[in-house]
Amino acid sequence: MMSATPVQSAALADLRVRIDQLDAQLIALLNERARVAEAVGALKRREGSPLFRPDRVAQVIAKMQAANAGPLKDRHIAAVWREIMSACLALEAPLTVAVLGPQGTFCEQAAIEYFGSAVDLAYCNSFDEVFHATASGTAQFGVVGVENSTEGAVARTLDLLRATPAHIVGEVSLVVRHNLLTQAKALTDIEAVLAHPQALMQCNGWLSEHLPRAERRAVSSNAEGARLAATNPAWAALASERAAAQFALPVAARAIQDQALNRTRFAVICLPQTLPLPAATGRDRTSLVVAVPNKAGSLYDLLAPLKAHDVSMSRLESRPAKSGQWEYYFYIDIAGHPAEPRVARALAALEAQCAFYKVLGTYAQGHDV
């Protein structure tokens, strides 16, 4: 290997000195920003205003991206500023966010993408527990899976959104790559594959081809499957690389989901008193659950106001009302914010058609991660 010339070494040394100088300036500025954030937090507590505002985070990041002259890319700016604001918020008022556990779940990853890594995460055994922690005040916010691009809606989440007081204030769309994690020396040594039911369905084709004799065992989360697989070399898990590192499991096969562009949409939830309806951003989504009288044309009547007021619908799901009468709740996502006059008019006309009507949340449409 050729050694650097003295000229090259001197030039590199000068550049490193300059980087050290810039780092010293950055750390001084970051601490100055943190002190201002502490003052903001004290003022918010006195006024009783929300300590975390996702619209404010989005505004700051957008402003920094608009001022960015490169060479950093906008996504780099977003990642850096999200972490800066997360650290400052932790000084203003530490946040606890409930997620599906244990460590290493995609739900955990979604929470970090949304809130930054400075938040405190409370790991729960199920989405029911996430909702309970959020509703009881144990956690200020929760993150739950809502739908998957391969397998559709997460039915339990839909039921809980309808039945609990928590509402949606944000979302994250996450690329989900399932990896086969195991201590087994060969695929033929695997007796059982452990994962969340959604993950097992998303990898159905690969498992049928490569592990046709292995038992498919549903567990509370993919990370829980990884934790269990770490205790038995005849078991495997479908989980993230984060879980592989967390439980020191080798990756036997990567990205084995049947659909290459497999995504899961996660909702950020909280009580209305923690964070009321976020302000309009211009790229908002409103989620509803409704029920209509069981009569001819009722579904058509339900959707007609959306067309009449030029409001776009991006999702329509049905769930049994469990009344024994073949009645259903309809879950609807529309583009827009209730503060927009046309959206307000559409929602008022839609509500007039409903036997049951509940706004599940209004929030900025999430960025893809």
Q: How does pLDDT run across 167-177, given as a tens digit for each residue? A: 999 999 999 99
Structure token digits, residue 321: 């009302």
Q: What is the DSSP string of 338-354?
A: TTSHHHHHHHHHHHTT-
Label each residue of 160-215 as H, E or C: HHHHCCCEEEEEEEEECCCEEEECCCCHHHCCEEEECHHHHHHCHHHHHHHCCCCE
- Give the model's pLDDT for residue 233: 96
Tell which wins on pLDDT, 51 or 241: 241
- Of 68, 92, 116, which marks where a domain is finished? 92
Which domain does 334 fall in, by range? 284-364
How many domains does the chain fold into? 4
Whether the pLDDT of residue 2 is over 70: the answer is no
Closest CA to 208 of 258, 246, 139, 174: 258
pLDDT attached to residue 292:
86
Domain end point (choices 59, 75, 92): 92
In a domain, 52, yes or no: yes
What is the identity of the amino acid at 77?
Answer: I
Q: Give the range among 6-15, 130-139, 149-158, 319-328 with minimum mean pLDDT.
A: 319-328
- Residue 53: the pLDDT is 84
Does residue 24 fall inside a structural domain? no
For 47, counting Cβ atoms within 10 Å of its Cβ (0-12 exposed, 13-18 middle, 19+ buried), the class is exposed
Each residue's pLDDT tens digit, 236-289: 999 999 999 999 999 999 999 999 888 999 999 999 999 988 888 889 999 999
Q: Say which CATH number the domain at 152 has.
A: 3.40.190.10
Q: What is the pLDDT of residue 151?
A: 84
Asked whether 45 and 93 are in contact (CB, 8 A), the reply is yes
| Integer angstrom CA distances of residue 233 from 179, 181, 193, 214, 268 | 16, 10, 11, 13, 36
State yes or no: pLDDT of 1 exceeds 60.
no
The answer as to whether 232 is a domain residue is: yes
Mean pLDDT of 327-354: 94
Domain shared by 136 and 106, yes or no: yes
| Paired strand residues for 265 | 147, 173
User: For residue 318, what is the domain's CATH number?
Assistant: 3.30.70.260
**Taking a C-beta distance cutoff of 8 angstroms, is the pair 215, 72 a contact?**
no
The residue ranges of DSSP E strands in 43-149, in sequence order, are 96-100, 120-124, 141-148
Examine the domain organization and report whether 189 and 168 are in the same domain.
no
pLDDT for the residue numbered 309:
95
Query: In this structure, is residue 258 part of a structural domain?
Result: no
pLDDT at 293: 79
Q: Which of 63, 92, 121 is the last residue of a domain?
A: 92
Low-confidence winner among 88-92, 100-104, 128-132 (lowest mean pLDDT): 88-92
- Which phi-psi region, left, alpha or beta, contains residue 292 (left: φ > 0; alpha: ψ -120 to 50)? beta
Same domain, 115 and 100: yes
**pLDDT at 52 (0 to 100):** 86
- Among the residue ranges 68-82, 154-168, 323-337, the one predicted with the least confidence is 323-337
- The average pLDDT across 334-350 equals 95
Answer yes or no: do 163 and 226 share one domain: no
CATH code: domain of residue 52: 1.20.59.10
Label residues 309-343 b or e (16+ Cβ within 10 Å = b): bebeeeeebebeeeeeeeebbbbbbbbbbbebeeb
65 and 105 share a domain?
Answer: no
- Indicate the average pLDDT of the chain: 91
Which token pair is 318? 């049905």
Q: Are residues 101 and 152 in the same domain?
A: yes
Q: Is residue 47 in a domain?
A: yes
Does some domain include residue 275? no
307 occurs within a structural domain:
yes
Q: Is residue 17 part of a domain?
A: no
